[in-house]
Amino acid sequence: MIDHRVSVGDIRNAADRIKGYVHRTPTLTCSTLDNLAANPDVGLKLFFKCDNFQKVGAFKIRGATNAILSLLSSHPDRSPSEFSVITHSSGNHAQALAYASQALGVRCHVVMPSNSASVKKDAVRGYGAMVTECVPTLQAREDGVNAIISEMRASGKEITFIPPYDDVRVIAGQGTMALELMEQAASLDAPLDILIAPVGGGGMLSGCAVAAKGVDPGIWVVGAEPAGADDAYRSFNAKKFIPSVDPQTIADGLRTSLGEITFPLIMANVDAIHTVSEVEIVRAMKLVYERMKLVVEPSAAVGLAVALYGSEFKEQIRILASKKQKQDLNVGIIFSGGNVDLANLSTLFDIAGNN
């Protein structure tokens, strides 16, 4: 039976394990975005955890590295070169697993949807992984992985599947972001009242929620999701898993459905999930480029979009500020990655029009 539990202790252990293999990324602020996000009666101080500066340009290296190191440590008598790993991913987890495999001496196979950004597919191949493309459906991705596993095992070769999000080792690795963010905010004498993280498959949100609640049970944790891929929002509010059907969003990293492990962790540790439109995502992304001079991908801008444009979020922060008897709230926002296809950037920004 799979152990679905993840604790803040697991996340602290993951932080120790991956230290030296990943960056401790900076947390940055922007007074212009603070002013744009503020309500008339509640001020917001935004703290951006910039994992767009992470190795491979995204947070996924944390979970991938923790998963492979955990695998290797469970077989200390074997050489890393004896191990093969496989996954399916639209891009960032693929890059992360390929990079971590190369760094740790493990062979890597990746099944990628044919509509993944070309910059991501090129990067995966550049890190030495063997890439198999498939039609852009979850079923096709899973079928592709199972076919390669069956083929390798039939020839007597062992291979380990490392899911992009629904794995306790991956979840614990992703949660290290929240530990760092909360430490960095506290060092600025600004302990967080709210943490906002994007949600697709839920590995990042569930890991960050467990970490944040483990450090401060009173923190309010929010998931941010595109309205065109809102299975987490619908599942959270229905209190039962509702899979995604034909997700349509420019935030390609958030098109996947929640998993068997991530969904209950989110239900137990997340306080709200809010959705934003495609236009709102691009407006937020454009503001980051213009005001912070940072490269972020659409998936990374969804949390800021909630803070800037989410009507339900704005109502809830008024309630939270009143409850805490505070006029200003400290809000941590995860910038999950910066792997945007620069060739299509102007077309992407056109979605926001002149706003």
Catalytic residue (one of 60, 121, 213, 314):
60
- Looking at this protein, which amino acid is placed at residue 283? R
Catalytic residue (one of 90, 101, 206, 336):
90
Assess contact for 295 and 335: CB atoms under 8 A. no
For 212, how many CA atoms within 13 A lie in the half-sphere containing its CB?
36
d(CA 95, CA 190): 34
| CA-only gyration radius of the chain, Å | 19
- Assigned token pair, 113: 């949807």
| Largest distance between two CA atoms of the chain | 66
Let me know if 286 is a catalytic residue: no
H helical segments located in the chain: 8-18, 31-37, 60-73, 92-104, 118-126, 138-154, 168-187, 203-215, 231-238, 262-269, 278-287, 298-309, 311-324, 345-350
Assess contact for 49 and 25: CB atoms under 8 A. yes
d(CA 167, CA 146): 17
Let me know if 120 is a catalytic residue: no
Assess contact for 298 and 278: CB atoms under 8 A. no
- Assigned token pair, 121: 């597919």
Q: How many CB atoms lie within 10 A of CB 152?
A: 15
C-alpha distances out from residue 232 to 18, 246, 247, 259, Å: 29, 14, 12, 10
Q: How many CB atoms lie within 10 A of CB 229?
A: 24
Assess contact for 180 and 186: CB atoms under 8 A. no
Active site residues: 60, 90
